[in-house]
Amino acid sequence: MRFFKRAYIRYVLHRYAIKHEIWEAVTSKLVLLVGLTAVEKAHLRELSTLLLHGKRIFGVQGLLLTEEMRVLVAATACLPILHLGISLFAEWTDIVVYPSVFRVSRDETDAAGVVHHEERVLSGESWGRGPVIVAWDEVERDSVQGLPGHNVIIHEIAHKLDMLNGTANGMPPLHVTMPIPEWSTTLSAAYEELNRRLNHHHPTCVNPYAATSPAEFFAVFSEYFFCAPDIVHGHFHGVYRQLCLYYRQDPFLRLSAA
């Protein structure tokens, strides 16, 4: 079985490889990739090729995606799994791209069993085994500069990784070498401290949305880990270390050496 899987991957990489000129045009502008080695960039291209071949990336509400736009989405989505593997994306198939922020309307049941009708405006969303949904204007802004620590694709991919254990709870399936108590203690302490600072109206160096829930804490800090690693490294070093172990990457070191 493994032989056939490897053979299939080799076939896809040979038959459907992202064209060199498109890959270079897209990735040369991606600030997220600064500091990656040539080997890492080559591997990211392979992962992006597999994602583009295995999933549908399409626009809605009249948005027509060019090949460059699809490659940009794929490369960004694959950065968090650069050293984890494309198999972590096996349980879902679509990336849906809206032109801009989109409105969702749904019923939510609170802890008391009361149903509330909610309408929200979102720039991204992830559904269990369903699609990743993002707003293109946010993706485009994030790829060039954007806000420090903000990347809607990485945020939603972090939710997807988190949900691999069945629910979004801020604890993705950890590697066997990572003690669960150390992860839980470190992230819980940082989450509680962030909530304390916000409750006392003290300034924070990260998006307050991280204090919404442990799931959002993990997703927001994953954004900062890749997009503003100096902030996590300097102010939440324990969390930074845990994310290094999980993602098997060190963006702060990578940027420092660039």
49 and 12 in contact (C-beta within 8 Å)?
yes
Residue-wise pLDDT tens for the chain (258 aa)?
A: 676 678 878 888 888 889 999 999 999 989 899 999 999 999 999 999 999 999 999 999 999 999 999 999 999 999 999 999 999 999 999 999 999 877 776 556 555 665 555 677 777 888 888 999 999 999 999 988 767 899 999 999 999 999 999 889 999 999 999 999 999 999 999 999 999 999 999 989 999 999 999 999 999 999 999 999 999 999 999 999 999 999 999 999 998 887
Domains of the chain: 11-257 (3.40.390.10)
- The residue type at 122: L
- pTM: predicted TM-score of the whole model, two decimal places: 0.91
Residue 157: helix, strand or coil by DSSP?
Answer: helix
Predicted local distance difference test score (pLDDT) of residue 220: 98
What is the signed CA dihedral for 56, 67, 223, 82, rounded to 10 degrees? 80
> Would you put residue 39 in left (φ > 0), alpha (ψ -120 to 50) or beta?
alpha
Predicted local distance difference test score (pLDDT) of residue 210: 96
| Beta-bridge mates of residue 98 | 135
Question: Rounded distance, CA 114 to CA 131, Å?
Answer: 28
Question: Rounded distance, CA 218 to CA 221, Å?
Answer: 5
231 and 182 in contact (C-beta within 8 Å)?
no
* DSSP E strands, 99-255: 102-109, 115-122, 124-126, 132-135
Q: How many CA atoms lie within 13 A of 198 on its CB side?
A: 14
Question: Rounded distance, CA 126 to CA 172, Å?
Answer: 15
Predicted local distance difference test score (pLDDT) of residue 145: 74
Predicted local distance difference test score (pLDDT) of residue 11: 82
Predicted local distance difference test score (pLDDT) of residue 12: 83
- Rounded CA Rg of the chain: 18
Question: Rounded distance, CA 85 to CA 96, Å?
Answer: 22
Q: For residue 215, give the DSSP letter.
A: H
Predicted local distance difference test score (pLDDT) of residue 246: 98
55 and 94 in contact (C-beta within 8 Å)?
yes
String of b and e for 218-234 (b: at least 16 CB within 10 Å)?
bbbbbbbbbbbbebbbe
Residue 164: helix, strand or coil by DSSP?
Answer: helix
